[in-house]
Amino acid sequence: MFRVGDLVQYGNSGVCQVQEIVSEGISSVKDKLFYLLIPLGSKGSKIYTPVDNEKVVMRKIMTPDEIDSLVSRIADIPELGIPDERSREQQYKQAIHSGSCEEWIKIIKTLYLRKKKRAAQGKKITSTDERYMKSAEDRLYGEFSAALGKDREDVKSYISQRIEKETV
């Protein structure tokens, strides 16, 4: 169970802070506990979710040490294994909804290299690739930014440099 003040990654909402744990006025079910989450990226938004919600991935955000460890392994993190073009979007969806920073890095790495390859062929990145790249970056950089107390752009630059360094 999370505690008031914890920063959590909550489904598609990104990083949220647990503001309260409440039991009244949310549902007709008595004695059911809910988290009141405040998304860091959305001013004025509130999310109520059952404490025992198993439908949406919710986990504590990574610590700075866990982030350093993950970033140091970027070279060893494989690209997504996409057997054919038809299954590409399904692979992206699964990785995004996993709630895993490592899976998000796989998407970013896969699409960064794919974009580079397509550019060398005189082609642009597809709209699907661009959409999933943005989604993975938003989630990853949002979490790293909250955990490290850094601006998203600083986090993005740091990750991009590491990927470029490791793939040259």
pLDDT, tens digit, 9 for 90 and up, residues 87-123: 899 999 999 999 999 999 999 999 989 999 999 999 9
- Residues 14, 12, 21: CA angle, nearest 5 degrees: 65
Give the whole-angstrom CA distance, residue 47 versus residue 34.
10
The greatest distance separating any two alpha carbons of the chain, rounded to the nearest whole angstrom, comes to 61
Architecture in CATH of 62-167: Up-down Bundle (1.20)
Average pLDDT for the chain: 89
Q: Is the pLDDT at 132 greater than 90, yes or no?
A: yes
Question: What pLDDT is stored for residue 168 in this prediction?
Answer: 58
55 or 160, which is more confident? Answer: 55
- Structural element, H or E, at residue 48: strand 47-50
